């Protein structure tokens, strides 16, 4: 048996045409296009790109957007089930339950043909935001807000969440959030769902594997951890003691470090500018200033004591953005999933198209 790579670090598990990462130069491309360029498009266009392998032309985009907008509503029975969810708990548990319930109502549920998967894609991408917003409103004793077909993916989500239309800058921030979160090669949740798809299990089941894996605090759950950390630190005076105490205890600081990026996560750079813009519009830069100071303190600590820098990952400034948008931390991971579902589905389609069951070996000791 060859050498075991703990955590499969550096192991190349499969060929993929979906995204490209250069972890040393800090480059991320979806289907050959830099994330910085994609973040100026609509989520619908980027979702189409991930699923179909090319950017849509004007007609394709119009059709896909229309299909998504027509599929946003969720049915009464699903809302009744969401009402039984544990509102003390974070929304990932509710989202996981809801996607499982959606499978029961989906006539294509067990059909894994390309055509059926494309039909299910539209329904899944369209309904993730509606489910998360509905969970939030039920948890807070508020009436459900129906989706507004005149609004884009990000703006509509904020509208369903708050019951009022977001400002242009808030809408832009949410749209970019979904785009930046949409895809990231063989991260843990994507790998988990490719394994599920490789057994020829269906799309909903694969997505549920992804959701369960994204939830962990070392993966998508770090976004929630960042928001809790910001609350706990509260003011600049507390940054250094907070960080030093945790590092001494060998604990992780959420939103920092990455398995692949050895430099600044390119997504975090785009997020940082969005957060700056939202803070300027609000006329309140408390969270942004605190975050910048946490970033520089972490950098200094690592350079001085470990001889290597550490940089924020995607979850750091996205957590800050959610604070500025007034989003509670228990929604953070499920909002990440709203964006990520397009990338997840692209990976499932790629797996089904050229499948071999994923089954590595263990070294018996
Ligand atoms: N806080 C403190 N120390 C850290 C952090 C951190 N956030 N990240 C890495 N380190 C240190 C480790 O303690 C380790 O030190 P050592 O060599 O002295 O033992 C070294 O840096 C290397 O860390 P590893 O855990 O080996 O790196 P790995 O590639 O396994 O982990 C991970 C990457 C899980 C992202 C890690 O950086 C981490 O735990 N970060 C905090 C959680 C987080 O933000 N997760 C989100 C990642 S992005 C995403 O999944 C969407």
pLDDT digits (tens, 9 = 90+) for 189-212: 999 999 999 999 999 999 999 999
- Interval between CA 117 and ligand 1 midpoint (Å): 35
pLDDT at 37: 98
Query: Per residue in 123-138, pLDDT tens?
Result: 999 999 999 999 999 9
* Low-confidence winner among 31-45, 69-83, 86-100, 339-353 (lowest mean pLDDT): 86-100
- Residue nearest atom 37 of ligand 1, based on CA coordinates: 257
The CA-atom distances, in angstroms, between 327 and each of 43, 162, 354 are 20, 10, 40
What per-residue confidence (pLDDT) applies to 90? 77
- pLDDT for residue 255: 97
Neighbours of 69 (CB within 10 A): 19
Report which ligand 1 atom has the smallest distance to the Cα of 246: 2
pLDDT of residue 175 exceeding 80:
yes
Instruction: Average the pLDDT over 262-288 and give the result.
Output: 97
Q: How far apart are CA 69 and CA 340, in angstroms?
A: 18
Over the stretch 287-336, which tens digit does the pLDDT of each residue have? Answer: 999 999 999 999 999 999 999 999 999 999 999 999 999 999 999 999 99
Asked if residue 217 has pLDDT above 90, the reply is: yes
User: In percent, how much of the chain has pLDDT > 70?
Assistant: 100
Q: How far apart are CA 46 and CA 55, in angstroms?
A: 7
State yes or no: is 153 an active-site residue.
no
Nearest-CA residue for atom 30 of ligand 1: 259
Q: What is the DSSP letter of 362?
A: -
Q: Which two tokens stand for residue 330?
A: 């228990």
258 is catalytic: yes
On whether the CB atoms of residues 181 and 318 are closer than 8 A, the answer is yes
- Give me the pLDDT at residue 304, please: 95
CA of 315 to the centre of ligand 1 (A): 13
Q: Is 256 in the pocket of ligand 1 (CB under 6 A)?
A: yes
> Ligand 1 in contact with 183 (CB < 6 A)?
no
**3-state SS assignment for residue 42:** coil
pLDDT tens readout for residues 133-158: 999 999 999 999 999 999 999 999 99
Q: What is the DSSP letter of 182?
A: S
163: region left, alpha or beta (phi > 0 left; psi from -120 to 50 alpha): left
Mutation to probe ligand 1, out of 249, 257, 320 (largest number of atoms < 8 A from CB): 257
Residue 220 CB less than 6 A away from ligand 1:
yes
* pLDDT at residue 1 is higher than 70: no
Taking residues 50-54, report their average pLDDT.
98
Other CB atoms within a 10 A radius of the CB of residue 8 amount to 14
Amino acid 56: pLDDT: 98
Q: Specify whether the CB–CB gap between 198 and 355 falls below 8 A.
A: yes
Contact present, 309 and 190 (Cβ < 8 Å): no
102 CA → ligand 1 middle, Å: 35
């Amino acid at each position: 048996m060859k050498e075991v790579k703990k955590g499969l670090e550096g192991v190349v598990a499969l060929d993929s045409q979906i995204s490209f990462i250069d972890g040393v130069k800090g480059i991320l491309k979806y289907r050959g296009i830099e994330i910085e360029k994609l973040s100026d498009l609509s989520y619908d266009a980027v979702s189409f790109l991930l699923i179909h392998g090319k950017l849509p032309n004007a007609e394709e985009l119009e059709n896909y957007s229309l299909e998504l907008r027509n599929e946003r509503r969720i049915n009464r029975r699903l809302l009744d089930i969401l009402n039984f969810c544990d509102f003390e708990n974070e929304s990932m548990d509710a989202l996981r339950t809801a996607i499982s319930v959606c499978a029961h109502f989906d006539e294509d549920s067990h059909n894994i043909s390309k055509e059926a998967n494309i039909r299910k894609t539209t329904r899944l991408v369209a309904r993730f935001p509606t489910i998360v917003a509905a969970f939030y409103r039920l948890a807070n004793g508020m009436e459900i807000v129906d989706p507004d077909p005149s609004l884009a993916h990000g703006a509509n989500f904020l509208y369903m969440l708050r019951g009022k239309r977001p400002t242009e800058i808030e809408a832009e921030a949410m749209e970019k959030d979904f785009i930046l979160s949409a895809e990231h090669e063989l991260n843990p949740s994507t790998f988990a769902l490719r394994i599920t798809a490789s057994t020829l299990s269906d799309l909903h089941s694969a997505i549920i594997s992804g959701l369960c894996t994204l939830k962990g605090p070392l993966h998508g759950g770090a976004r929630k951890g960042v928001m809790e950390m910001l609350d706990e630190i509260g003011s600049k005076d507390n940054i250094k003691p907070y960080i030093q105490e945790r590092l001494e205890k060998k604990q992780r600081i959420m939103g920092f470090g990455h398995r692949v990026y050895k430099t600044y996560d390119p997504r975090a750079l785009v997020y940082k500018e969005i957060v700056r813009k939202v803070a300027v519009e609000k006329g309140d830069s408390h969270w942004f200033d605190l975050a910048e100071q946490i970033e520089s303190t972490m950098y200094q600590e690592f350079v001085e004591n470990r001889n290597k820098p550490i940089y924020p990952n995607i979850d750091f400034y996205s957590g800050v953005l959610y604070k500025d948008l007034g989003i509670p931390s228990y929604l953070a991971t499920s909002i990440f999933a709203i964006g990520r579902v397009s990338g997840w589905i692209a990976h499932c389609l790629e797996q089904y198209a050229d499948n071999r069951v994923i089954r590595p070996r263990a070294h018996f000791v």
